[in-house]
Amino acid sequence: MAVAISMPNSTKTLYQFPEFDIRHKLSQLSDYLKIPQVLSIKTIQIFQELGFVQIENGIMTVNKDAEKKEIASSSIYQDLVQTVKDQELMAFRDLCKKFMNI
């Protein structure tokens, strides 16, 4: 079963706002990207892990010299994919139980 996690087009957005106060404007960023705030947080964590951004005192700064890396190489991303797989499996199991009780 292949699982794809849709990452917002955040890379382009990052370069539009090379310095961003995530303490006070995270909800505005989520609204702008039209994604839940929790996904904005995960995306920022992934970008930080991969060295695309730095965060100091709540200010996220783009690392313009960052080495190009695949999002899938992030352990945070891999954990997120596994969580989605686990949730799909549990939902399928629950559906099978309901079907068997009909």
Averaged pLDDT, 23-47: 92
- DSSP for 1-23 reads --------SHHHHHHHSSEEEHH
Mean pLDDT of the chain: 86
Alpha helices, H only, 1-102? 10-16, 22-33, 37-49, 75-100
Quote the tokens at residue 95: 């559906």
Quote the tokens at residue 38: 């929790």
What is the tens place of the pLDDT at every residue in 21-33?
999 999 998 998 8
Q: What is the pLDDT of residue 11?
A: 64
> Residue 36's closest CA among 44, 27, 45?
27
Q: What is the pLDDT of residue 41?
A: 93
> Residue 63's closest CA among 76, 78, 44?
44
Q: What is the pLDDT of residue 102?
A: 59
Three-state DSSP at 76 gives helix
Averaged pLDDT, 49-64: 94
Q: What is the pLDDT of residue 3?
A: 44
Averaged pLDDT, 75-98: 90
